[in-house]
């Protein structure tokens, strides 16, 4: 039995279009309605046959949906929720895929009184954007974290979990604030560091910009991939997970200063001890199947 027969997805970017592809592949009989504000995107969605119906208005997409998933930047969740509020079918579940959860939960509950809101976050993505960047297997063997409010109906949480499991994801449930602290460590701070380091390198005067690009070895090149992520999405992540990111950034800055001191005073054992500890973390990530053990993440070495 399918968890839902009629699903609506609002926003057909990387995540929304991957979700549409995954639903088409795993649950071909689901009636899928999607909406996007951009006419060119709607044209691509039709050409790629990603949905049964494509509309320009979010309200029109949700009228008879049993599950509505908002796949827009975190800062756009509240206005989009307000746009669909009057059109939601009785009993519909509203969820999302946003990378921040406490603010999104609060925004959705405020905009949709009396509606079953169960936020979610598939911890899967790439640095690309738009409907052509999506692919059906994006969520396979990746975590999807659901952050239901305390008063959520457990049967509806199970139903949403079954939906994500059918797409190949591994589902975990946690409190929204806890999610935001965990993701601040595993995703948000690393992105901030990447944005910062790539910005610094491009500002250097002693090393030309063309040298930075020409001699970019593994380390810097990996940062540039992360720093190529969508500017709007990441602007919203930092503005909406402010407290957790700032707290962690304070801690990180202290640790960085400690490393600076170890380098200055030639404390090799301090550096070696840290680098040994971090290597073990990398090994555990590979053992858990969350990355590839091949050198350079399996990418071919060009030059
Ligand atoms: P994306 O490819 O840039 O797509 C963004 C989508 O949101 C587009 O459909 C866009 O519509 C729509 N949108 C943008 N601003 C809007 C607004 N003000 N009102 C209504 N719709 C708006 O981004 P994405 O990577 O799919 O990200 C979507 C969500 O997934 C975000 O909340 C993000 O935090 C979350 N997420 C992303 C990743 C990742 O790695 N990328 C991973 C997990 C979760 P137009 O076509 O009209 O521009």
Question: What CATH number is attached to the domain comprising 105?
Answer: 3.40.50.720
- Element at 173 (helix H, strand E): strand 170-173
Q: Are residues 141 and 232 in the same domain?
A: no
Q: Are residues 136 and 32 in the same domain?
A: yes
From the CA of 76, how far away is ligand 1's center (Å)?
A: 9
Give ligand 1 pocket residues (Cβ under 6 A): 11-16, 36-38, 41, 71-74, 76, 80, 97-99, 122, 125-126, 129-130, 230, 233
* Residue-by-residue pLDDT tens, the chain, 303 positions: 899 999 999 999 999 999 999 999 999 999 999 999 999 999 999 999 999 999 999 999 999 999 999 999 999 999 999 999 999 999 999 999 999 999 999 999 999 999 999 999 999 999 899 999 999 999 999 999 999 999 999 999 999 999 999 999 999 999 999 999 999 999 999 999 999 999 988 887 677 777 877 777 778 888 998 999 999 999 999 999 999 999 999 999 999 999 999 999 999 999 999 999 999 988 888 888 777 776 544 444 333
Look at residue 294 in the predicted model and tell me its pLDDT. 63
Q: What is the atom index within ligand 1 of the atom nearest the CA of 130?
A: 2
294 domain residue, yes or no: no
Measured from the Cβ of residue 199, the count of other Cβ atoms closer than 10 Å reads: 10
What is the C-alpha separation between 276 and 93, in angstroms, rounded? 46
Q: Are residues 113 and 194 in the same domain?
A: no
What is the C-alpha separation between 58 and 56, in angstroms, rounded? 7
Question: What CATH number is attached to the domain comprising 282?
Answer: 1.10.3660.10
Pocket test of ligand 1: the residue of 10, 11, 77, 78 to mutate, having most ligand atoms within 8 Å of its CB, is: 11
Could you give the strand order of the β-sheet that contains 170-173, starting from the edge strand earlier in sequence? 120-122, 143-146, 170-173
> Among the three residues 174, 207, 229, which one is the final residue of a domain in this structure?
174
Q: Which protein residue has the closest C-alpha to ligand 1 atom 13?
A: 72
188 domain residue, yes or no: yes
Total domains in the fold of the chain: 2
Q: Are residues 242 and 263 in the same domain?
A: yes
From the CA of 122, how far away is ligand 1's center (Å)?
A: 13
Q: Are residues 157 and 50 in the same domain?
A: yes
From the CA of 62, how far away is ligand 1's center (Å)?
A: 18
Tokens of 27: 């649950």
Q: Are residues 133 and 205 in the same domain?
A: no
Look at residue 302 in the predicted model and tell me its pLDDT. 33
Q: Are residues 165 and 18 in the same domain?
A: yes
Q: Are residues 217 and 124 in the same domain?
A: no
Pocket test of ligand 1: the residue of 16, 68, 73, 134 to mutate, having most ligand atoms within 8 Å of its CB, is: 73
Look at residue 219 in the predicted model and tell me its pLDDT. 80
Q: Are residues 198 and 168 in the same domain?
A: no
> Among the three residues 141, 174, 207, which one is the final residue of a domain in this structure?
174
* Of the candidates 249, 121, 243, the residue with the CA atom closest to the CA atom of residue 179: 121
Q: Are residues 17 and 112 in the same domain?
A: yes
Q: Are residues 78 and 153 in the same domain?
A: yes
Q: Are residues 165 and 50 in the same domain?
A: yes
The boundaries of the domain holding residue 280 are: 178-289
Look at residue 159 in the predicted model and tell me its pLDDT. 98
Look at residue 221 in the predicted model and tell me its pLDDT. 87
Q: Which protein residue has the closest C-alpha to ligand 1 atom 7?
A: 72
**Tally of helices (H runs) and strands (E runs) in the chain:** 13, 9
């Amino acid at each position: 039995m399918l968890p839902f027969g009629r699903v609506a997805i609002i926003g057909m970017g990387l995540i929304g279009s991957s979700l549409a592809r995954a639903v088409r592949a795993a649950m071909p009989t689901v009636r899928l309605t999607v909406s996007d504000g951009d006419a060119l995107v709607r044209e691509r969605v039709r050409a790629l046959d990603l949905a049964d119906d494509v509309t320009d208005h979010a309200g029109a997409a949700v009228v008879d949906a049993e599950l509505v998933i908002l796949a827009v930047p975190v800062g756009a969740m509240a206005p989009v929720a307000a746009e669909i509020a009057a059109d939601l079918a009785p009993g519909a579940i509203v969820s999302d895929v946003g990378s921040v959860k406490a603010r999104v939960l609060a925004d959705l509950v405020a905009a949709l009184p009396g509606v079953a809101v169960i936020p979610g976050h598939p911890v899967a993505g790439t640095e690309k954007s738009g409907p052509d960047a999506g692919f059906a297997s994006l969520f396979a063997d990746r975590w999807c974290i659901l952050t239901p409010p305390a008063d959520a109906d457990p049967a509806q949480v199970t139903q949403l979990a079954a939906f994500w499991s059918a797409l190949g994801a591994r589902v975990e449930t946690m409190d929204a604030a806890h999610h935001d602290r965990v993701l601040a460590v595993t995703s948000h701070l690393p992105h901030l560091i990447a944005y910062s380091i790539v910005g610094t390198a491009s500002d250097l005067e002693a090393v030309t910009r063309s040298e930075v690009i020409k001699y970019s070895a593994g380390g810097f090149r990996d940062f540039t991939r992360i720093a190529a992520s969508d500017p709007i999405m990441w602007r919203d992540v930092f503005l909406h997970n402010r407290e957790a990111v700032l707290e962690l950034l304070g801690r990180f800055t202290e640790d960085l200063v400690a490393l600076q001191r170890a380098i200055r005073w030639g404390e090799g054992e301090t550096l070696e001890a840290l680098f040994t500890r971090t290597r073990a973390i990398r090994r555990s990530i590979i053992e858990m199947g969350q990355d590839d053990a091949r050198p350079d993440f399996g990418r071919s070495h060009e030059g």
